[in-house]
Amino acid sequence: MKKYKKIVIIPAYNEEENIEKVISKIKEVASDFDYIVINDCSIDNTLEICRKNKIPVINLPINLGIGGAMQTGYLYAKQNNYDIAVQIDGDGQHDPDYLKRLVEPIEMDKYDFVTGSRFIEKEGFQSSVLRRIGINYFRVLLKMLIGKSITDATSGFRACNKDIIEYFAKHYPSDYPEPEAIVALARKKYRIIEVAVKMKEREQGFSSIRSFKTVYYMIKVTLAILINKIKTI
């Protein structure tokens, strides 16, 4: 099998409590991966901790949100000629043990995009009821739009190949990008697959999705997804 240049992109906003653990786990179980932290203008000590531990970090001067931060990672991956890019969230929910399982379909050139779902084998942290209702909603919506049943469209634990790195570097949604990105990729006829992963409960800090903004988010994301379906870029 050809030697692939792989990078893990870790978007981080106020993850001073978790970031060191995430990095040391990656170094431990996936030494063939490079990694880069994208500090989304954190107001805590995330940046200082990265610098202190000599963790490669890109420091955004203003907060862009998960969409802008991830796109920065894809730009970096493109500029440095990486073949495969994997997203791992900075909060410690994604287990680097699954990195190999995530990139294998791409290395075998069977698929272009692999996303990790915690609902295939229903192991590990299954999320709150509210979140699961949202995830089920996206599963039904995506099934209607792209014909595939994606059990965890909001999962940030995903890997993509070089073509997709180039595409995301140019076009990446800004708000709640995960489900919309899948629709864009399906539209462009990329080969998509889900693999089973286990996720951990968010260890410290707060998730950036608050339940009282949920309805507004759902309307906005649904509309964005529908419009993406008719895009030509």
48 binds other proteins (CB under 8 A): no
| Contact residue for other proteins among 61, 144, 210, 215 (CB under 8 A) | 61
Distance CA 71, CA 93 (A): 20
Q: Token pair of 48, please?
A: 């200082």
Residue 123 or residue 175: which is nearer to other proteins going by CB?
A: 175
Residue 52 or residue 231: which is nearer to other proteins going by CB?
A: 231
* Segment 147-150 long-range contacts (CB within 8 Å, at least 24 positions apart): 147/186, 148/186, 148/192, 150/115, 150/117, 150/179, 150/182, 150/192, 150/194
| Contact residue for other proteins among 1, 62, 108, 144 (CB under 8 A) | 62
120 binds other proteins (CB under 8 A): no
147 binds other proteins (CB under 8 A): no
Q: How far is CA 50 from CA 19, 58, 66, 152, 214, in A?
A: 8, 10, 19, 30, 32
CB atoms within 10 A of CB 144: 8
Q: Which span sits near other proteins by CB under 8 A: 12-20, 136-144, 182-190, 215-223? A: 215-223
43 binds other proteins (CB under 8 A): no
- Contact pattern from residue 151 through residue 180 relative to other proteins, giving x for each residue in contact according to CB under 8 A and a dash for the rest: --------------------x--xx-----
Residue 140 or residue 227: which is nearer to other proteins going by CB?
A: 227
Distance CA 53, CA 118 (A): 31
Q: Token pair of 228, please?
A: 């993406």
To other proteins, the closest distance from the beta carbon of 193 in angstroms equals 28
Distance CA 144, CA 120 (A): 19
214 binds other proteins (CB under 8 A): no
Residue 165 or residue 221: which is nearer to other proteins going by CB?
A: 221
231 binds other proteins (CB under 8 A): yes
Distance CA 52, CA 71 (A): 25
215 binds other proteins (CB under 8 A): no
To other proteins, the closest distance from the beta carbon of 111 in angstroms equals 27
Quick check: helix, strand or coil at residue 8?
A: strand
Distance CA 74, CA 70 (A): 6
- Phi/psi for 85 (5° steps) reads -125, 135
To other proteins, the closest distance from the beta carbon of 221 in angstroms equals 9
Site residues (vs other proteins, CB under 8 A) = 61-62, 171, 174-175, 219-220, 223-224, 227, 230-233
